[in-house]
Chains A and B, each alone.
Chain A
Amino acid sequence: MADLFKVSIDFETSHLIFPRLIIAILLVLGTIIVIRNRQAIAGSGAMWAETLRRMDKPRFLGTIALTVIYFLLMVPVGDIWPNTGLGFLICSIPFVALIGVLYMHERSLRSMIPMLIVAVVAPAIVWWLFTYVFALTLP
């Protein structure tokens, strides 16, 4: 009886055991979910169409697009002045400002001023703190 529970683990392949166990559990649970929720899954096309229709596309897609551009530019810009964190500083100011403009409801010059001040001041303080006080590496 005790032999039934004996397991011998080969160290060389021990990295695969747990992932396989988890995959097996996921497959079982996934199958049950698909069977139980088959109606919801069949209706998912309509759900997505509805989601897309209702979505505030400029704000949602704009956030993603700006974030991707921000991430892509940070490292190459930073490489011009290596290990100074300037890539972060130079990219963050327009990023914060543009996201700010994107999220605003009434885009008057008056209401933009506080936001623009924050867009310059916040990255600058953060950059100064991280580079000089905490001596951490920024892009």
Chain B
Amino acid sequence: MKLNRRTVMAAAASVAILAQPMMAAAQDLPRNVRMVIGSTSTGGDTYQAASIVADALSKQLGINIKVDAVGPSEGFKALGRDKRGTTIMLFHDHAYLGNLYGIAGNPDPFDGYLVGPTLTINPGNAYLVAKNSPYQTMDDILTAAANGERIRVAIQPGGVSEIGFTAMRNAARVRAPGSEENIVPVNTGSQADKNQAMFDGLADVINGSIQANEQFTALPENDQKAMRFVWLTATPETLQKSPEAGMGALSRDDMLQYASPQTSVTLDGTTDFTFDKEFFLIYNKDMKPEMMQAIDEGLAAVFAQDELNARLLEAFFIPDFQPMAEGSAHLMKKRDTYREVIDALK
């Protein structure tokens, strides 16, 4: 017992020493920065992206960056209170989607905050059907909707999970106006709830991800739990950058089968709808521009090295660094595209 405690303390002390910054802090930045994220889970993709990036960035800049999983509402509040740049936020497309869908507690990040550099993409957003479903492809689903069949899609409303559902309805509308009414939501919560909705026969299509659902697609057809991918929302460019081996039994080539252009969910009849789940930084609007510049430079330096890129790919993230000016303009454009789609279906 005694020995244990002493060794634990010694181990703890060495960790503490290692945690101290080795290099001199970048001049323009505070020594201790708090990175709040838009998720309350420390096991989810947002936390992972944040901790990998924060780890690399803090070593590069010689400052401490602590990641706090406070969730969207508290995150924006904490960011809004701190004008000194000691709090920054990392979040993904939900930041503006929640606002577009009108979910309470989701302010417009382009108004009142500054949207900063993009960092990385989780290419996993997917839609699945049961393996023995009569619908084999997205085309089957949209045709069925056009023929008046009711298609129930399990999603978590108001964000990344709903945008692909909105795109499906939009594609149905483009193909056969009025048929979008046949694609209806089953509003659920976690991935477990969405899977369960399929097992219970309450949903025909579910939102999921490559990471969480790939193994279900490898089950034999007679298994109640067996699923099949019908659509990956990521752009083909993003999927091209993913590891060639893909994930589990799903290789990169297999993934491309389920994504645009092979699997087409149309945006306007000519181009395909795509959605990359991008992670980016958000700043307080009064934060000093020199600080943002320093972060941009630090990020450019770490993304130029192999270490961070390799670590991101290992955890199935695609590196996607764009400095603040480009990143912000890119996201604004992306937001405007989705706003049109969402507004058209209201």
Contacts and interface: CB of A to CB of B under 8 A. Distances in A.
B68 A137 contact: yes
B187 A11 contact: yes
B32 A133 contact: no
A82 B66 contact: no
Nearest to B65: A83
B63 to A, nearest CB: 10
* Residue among A83, A84, A133, A136 with the highest chain B CB neighbour number at 10 A: A83
B19 A132 contact: yes
B187 A83 contact: no
Given A82-B30, A83-B32, A83-B33, A137 B66 contact: yes
B277 interface: no
Contact of A133 (B16, B66, B86): B16
B16 A83 contact: no
Contacts of B241: none
B346 to A, nearest CB: 13
Contacts, number: 30
Nearest to B78: A137
Contacts of B33: 83
Interface residues of A, number: 11
Range, interface on chain B: 10 to 19
B84 A83 contact: no
Contacts of B87: 83
B32 A82 contact: yes
B174 to A, nearest CB: 25
Contact of B86 (A11, A83, A128, A132): A83
A84 B34 CA distance: 10
Interface in B129-183: none
Nearest to A85: B32
B15 interface: yes
Contacts of B274: none
B64 interface: yes
Contacts of B34: 82-83, 137
26 contacts: A11-B185, A11-B187, A82-B30, A82-B32, A82-B34, A82-B82, A82-B84, A82-B86, A83-B30, A83-B32, A83-B33, A83-B66, A83-B86, A83-B87, A84-B32, A129-B12, A132-B16, A133-B12, A133-B15, A133-B16, A135-B19, A135-B66, A136-B66, A137-B34, A137-B66, A137-B68
The 10 closest A-B pairs by CB, nearest first: A83-B32, A132-B16, A82-B86, A133-B12, A83-B34, A137-B68, A133-B16, A84-B32, A83-B86, A11-B187
